[in-house]
């Protein structure tokens, strides 16, 4: 076997591992979001009625997250549930109207629509960066092995 081909066959997998990982992480995020969307098909307009502040440690530093409490109509009644996801300060304010998607069988399982779209977009960007990484790894391996 030609030394150039052998060098390419060794270099390319080594250089592309990070890209492959990014593609797998992005695809996993997209699958998870789609599965959640299948469960949470009912839509409603709600209002943020409170923001619950929680403190935790992130990389050894204090971190404050805000969990919106949303009031929305479902099944002929007005429900009030706290989001399972925390957000940074300023992303939501009390009185803000929000669109939500929720599980009709269990309305406490809901997510805010604009955040869902951001998550999907982020996953797609991760996949794109992974593919770009793999392409750059192939080019670099070709150049080095020439």
pLDDT tens-digit series, residues 50-107: 999 988 877 778 888 899 999 999 888 899 989 888 888 778 889 999 998 888 888 8
Q: What is the pLDDT of residue 19?
A: 92
Count of CB atoms within 10 A of residue 10's CB?
Answer: 12
Q: What is the largest CA-CA distance in the chain?
A: 73
Residue with tokens 């805000």: 66
Among 56, 60, 50, which residue's Cα sits nearest to residue 83? Answer: 50
- 105-138: per-residue pLDDT in tens? 888 888 888 777 777 888 999 999 999 999 988 8
- The predicted model gives 13-33 an average pLDDT of 90
Residue 66 phi, psi (nearest 5): -115, 130
Q: What is the pLDDT of residue 1?
A: 62
Among 144, 132, 130, which residue's Cα sits nearest to residue 10? Answer: 144
The CA-to-CA distance between both ends of the chain, in Å, stands at 14
Q: What is the pLDDT of residue 51?
A: 93
Q: How far apart are CA 64 and CA 85, in angstroms?
A: 12
């Amino acid at each position: 076997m030609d030394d150039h081909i052998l060098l390419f066959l060794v270099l390319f997998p080594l250089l592309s591992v990070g890209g492959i990982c990014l593609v797998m992480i992005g695809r996993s995020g997209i699958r998870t979001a789609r599965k959640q969307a299948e469960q949470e098909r009912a839509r409603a307009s709600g209002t943020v009625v409170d923001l619950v502040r929680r403190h935790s440690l992130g990389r050894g530093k204090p971190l404050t997250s805000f969990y919106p409490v949303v009031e929305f109509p479902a099944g002929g009644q007005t429900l009030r549930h706290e989001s399972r996801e925390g957000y940074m300060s300023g992303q939501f304010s009390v009185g803000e109207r929000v669109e939500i998607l929720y599980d009709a069988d269990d309305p406490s399982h809901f997510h805010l629509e604009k955040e869902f779209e951001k998550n999907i977009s982020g996953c797609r960007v991760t996949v794109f960066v992974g593919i770009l990484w793999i392409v750059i790894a192939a080019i670099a391996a070709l150049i080095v092995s020439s």
